[in-house]
Structure 1
Amino acid sequence: MHDFTGRRFLFLLGSTRAGGNTEALAQLAAAQLPSDAEQHWVRLAEMDLPAFTDRRHEGDGYYPSPTGPARTLLDATLDATDLVIASPLYWYSLSTPVKQYLDHWSGWMRVPDLDFRPRMAGRTLWGVTALAGTDHRDADALAGTLAKTARYMRMDFRGVLLGSATRPGQIAEDEDAVLRAKTFFTP
């Protein structure tokens, strides 16, 4: 077993419904983490995150320090060593709650003295998704978004755990995904 001492995993659940296949697949993978790896789970759809407004070209281009749910999410993000984006495949890409969360990163990079982008460098980004059908190429845009996000932020991207399921609970029938979940977080 690998040493996960000091590792803090933030699982960002991007579904608009609780208990879906993506969440179940993420839970299967997380169950394999040793007890010395902290886990924090956030359901993005319940965060009441304000709509993101692009202010880069207004005034000095800086953003105010976030407050409320955005601050809570920022703090959880900065506290994590590993971020796991668990987003079902919605129209071949990330779900709206995940996209909104990542949009806020644009603002956080422009908060004076926060140093969000340099502080994110070196962290690890993972993805988990369930999709209808068995052609995993349908998730290429989702995986590409996460890979490019990690590259831009100078994070280590460790890939996307993919599973095929449509109805709730169906992910257990994807034996390959269940097997991959058991080793997904191993280096």
Structure 2
Amino acid sequence: MKRGAPGGRWAVRGAGLLLAGALLPQVLVPLSARGRLFARPEDLPARQVGLVLGTSDVLASGRPNRYYLYRIDAAEAAYRAGKVQVLLLSGEGRSDGYDEPGAMYRDLTARGVPGERLLLDRSGLRTLDSVARADEVFGLREFTVISQPFHNQRAMFLARARGLDVVGLNARDVTGRSGLKVQRREVLARVRAVLDVLRGG
């Protein structure tokens, strides 16, 4: 009876490792947020600071970005409920005028949130940067993350890997075609998050 060629066995093992490497983060990331995500601001444990994760306020088509709008809704709700006293607005801010934290500041102050209660971090280029800078630059060891559920899970995975005490307020999610597109990208984003943690990010 012939045994399989060594090259074939290594190919199968390699494929198995790749599959495990892709699937394991899809389990680890949500587990890190278990029992720490809240759908209603009134259920949140109080934290001094809420970290609002940035995204563009408009889509490439020029239409409003619902991910952004729902995060602003959630951030305002957390502040109004007295569950956070300060909002740290973290995202990308560039010299060409693209400014995620600036847009959040504009829209939250327009809703009556006092400007002195808003901190801007224009160097939150990635979720990893936003979390790391909340710790290293702003000195936060505990805070509330505010974004959509999938994004909160990844941010909390990164934060808890740093030993931070975090909870999350889930902004309303986006369904339909645009929602599916983002969820597909999230699969790879979770793999990258696990690699970042393994590299000590």
Structure with bigger gyration radius: 2
Q: TM-score, normalised by structure 1?
A: 0.37
**Bigger fraction of residues in helix:** 2
**Bigger fraction of residues in strand:** 1
Q: TM-score, normalised by structure 2?
A: 0.35
